[in-house]
Chain A
Amino acid sequence: MKGYLYGVKTLTFKELKDSFASPLIYSITGLFCVLMGWLFFNYLISSKELTDQTLTQSVLIPVFGNMNFIFLFLAPLLTMKSFSEEKKLHTLELLLTSRLTHFQIIISKLIATFLMALFMVAITFIFPIILAMSGYDHWPVVFSAYGGVLFSILCYLTVGIFASAMCENLIVSAILSFCILLGLMLFSITGNATNNVIVAQMFQYLAIPYHFESFVRGGIKSYNLVYMSSFICFFIYLTHIKLESRKW
């Protein structure tokens, strides 16, 4: 087990070092900060007019909703290099002939991209701190919302890593993962289009935002966790199959 974790740690550190040495992460983080700061400021200003709503309803829920939506575009950019770059540089052979298993490689890449996303999200911790200065104290909702965002991002990243394993070109990989994520998001709209309640609920259940909402509203249900965990495991497994398919 120690050897297994050592392998994961080695590759994760290498990935992180690579990513933080490139200007891409800083550009994405800068863009993310500008967008989130502007949205937070606007929601905060307009909350003065919405006197019948709490700060959670008028500021936090929309801010986290937007954060989740923005990551739909940013997650593919974070993951596009994961396997595509390795294929392009022919370094995937180095990893595949090493002692690392496929799952070690996939998990290392997932952890590294997740830590990059965490670095971006960490900057938004300042929002609840600003709200706390005006007496806001619904901390469980804040933590639940952050949990939801991180879980949701983890789902996006697994899709991105799978797309990256599929393609050799970075741009194609980013577009593919964005298309899959957008398709999954459209499930909830498809649900609205049908008159059949059961079908509508099934479609809704398949969309990530439906489960994410429960987190943001502070009402996490067991099936939300089951859905997100299954989603992550499913795409990790698909990536494993893709790597394994080199042997077919």
Chain B
Amino acid sequence: MTLAIDLSQVTKEYPGILALDKVDLKVKKGSIHGFIGPNGAGKSTTMNIISGLIPPTSGEVKVQGLDCLREYQKVRGLIGLLPENPPLYQNMQVEEYLTFCQKINMPYESTKTERNSLKQEIIERCGLHEVTKRLIGNLSKGFRQRVAMAQALCSDPEIVILDEPTVGLDPNAIHDVRELILELKEKYTILLSTHQLHEVGRICDEVTIINDGKILRSGTIQEVQSEFSAFQTYEALVASMNDGLRKDLLSKSFIEGMDILHENEGELLRIRVSSGGEDHRSQLTKLISHQAELLEFRSKKMELEDIFREVVK
């Protein structure tokens, strides 16, 4: 397995704050890796460390096998970064801006012809051909985000780091950005941070969940889902809840936890059980219907969003 990004035991401390706590993150070459977590979890800090904006307090960061701290100049050329706040000069034209980005990012030895052909390819790929002569400040948010993505790609990197590229965009623009990311997969390794969890499920090969500076889960989407299939969630809608039923349910050893939600029709019991390969459906229906009027009973598949909530809780 070739790793594009390899973080081992990375810690980042600010005075009084532990932003990252022994983080291990491995991103396979050629994959789209989703990086999810609540606000303030440490996503941007991790991405800034990988892109060389800030150094870690301890730990090792390797990009394409190169040490980020010792071989910083080489690593710079390998990474294209789209930060959370797109770095755009409002008074520059789109093409002029991309030319400027190429000049400050690409090696001095690269020829003008090489730069131009790459720039045209990126403009086409990002769908910017109709706005190349327009001022960035006059563009819509969706187009600005595309320009920012083009900026991350225009120095011909091998790894693209996208920090919340869809934030603040309308559904159409989000769809366009998603399509663009899928297109980029052919050529680049992508580390994508987002709050759109269904997007991660759709476009990412792997996912890492981070919270409070700690990696909670990491692996392919299927691996993470199968890990959680060891826990089965059932939903039972009862007309009314009583203490006896609650005590009975919680006394069962296979029940990991239970949430009670108030609904119009009655009360919804969300019961999390450790299945261990067994099906507890009949056992639960019998137990509940014995003590309360059971209106509905269903098993619930753990989506990425549920897993995220469960892990971060």
Contact = CB atoms under 8 A, between A and B. Distances in A.
A100 to B, nearest CB: 6
Interface of B is mostly: loop
A221 interface: no
Interface stretch (B58-66, B77-85, B189-197): B77-85
A89 B90 contact: yes
Contact of A97 (B53, B89, B109): B53
Given A6-B108, A7-B104, A93-B53, A99 B73 contact: yes
The 3 closest A-B pairs by CB, nearest first: A3-B108, A94-B87, A90-B85
A90 B83 contact: yes
Contacts of B88: 89, 91
Interface of A: 2-3, 6-7, 10-11, 14, 18, 21, 89-100, 246-247
14 contacts: A3-B108, A10-B104, A89-B87, A89-B90, A90-B85, A91-B87, A92-B87, A95-B104, A96-B53, A97-B53, A98-B105, A99-B73, A99-B107, A247-B53
Interface of B: 51-55, 73, 76-77, 79, 81, 83, 85-91, 100-101, 103-109, 151
A97 B81 contact: yes
Nearest to B161: A97
Nearest to B80: A97
A104 B8 CA distance: 32
Contact of B103 (A2, A10, A18, A21): A10
A94 B88 CA distance: 9
A10 B79 CA distance: 21
Interface centre among B76, B77, B104, by most chain A C-beta atoms within 10 angstroms, is: B104
A246 B53 contact: yes
A94 B55 contact: no
Interface centre among B76, B100, B106, by most chain A C-beta atoms within 10 angstroms, is: B100
Contacts of A91: 87-89
B91 to A, nearest CB: 6
A246 B55 CA distance: 10
B105 A21 contact: no
Contact of A247 (B54, B101, B108, B151): B54
A153 to B, nearest CB: 26
Contacts of A99: 73, 76-77, 104-107
Contacts of A98: 76, 101, 104-105
B100 A10 contact: yes
A97 B151 contact: no
Contact of B89 (A3, A89, A100): A89
A97 B51 contact: yes
A37 to B, nearest CB: 31
A18 B105 contact: no
Nearest to B83: A93
A98 B51 CA distance: 10
Given A18-B91, A246-B53, 8 more contacts: A90-B87, A93-B53, A93-B81, A93-B83, A97-B51, A97-B52, A97-B81, A99-B106
Contacts of B104: 7, 10-11, 94-95, 98-100
Contacts of A7: 103-104, 108
Nearest to A22: B91
B111 to A, nearest CB: 13
Contact of A21 (B86, B91, B100): B91
A221 to B, nearest CB: 41
Contact of B108 (A2, A14, A94, A95): A2
A7 B105 CA distance: 9
A99 B51 CA distance: 12
Given A10-B103, A93-B83, A93-B87, A247 B76 contact: no
A95 B109 CA distance: 19
A247 B90 contact: no
B103 to A, nearest CB: 4
Contacts of A93: 53, 81, 83, 85, 87
A247 B55 contact: yes
Contacts of A14: 89, 100
Nearest to B105: A98
B11 to A, nearest CB: 15
B131 to A, nearest CB: 19
Interface centre among A7, A14, A89, A98, by most chain B C-beta atoms within 10 angstroms, is: A98
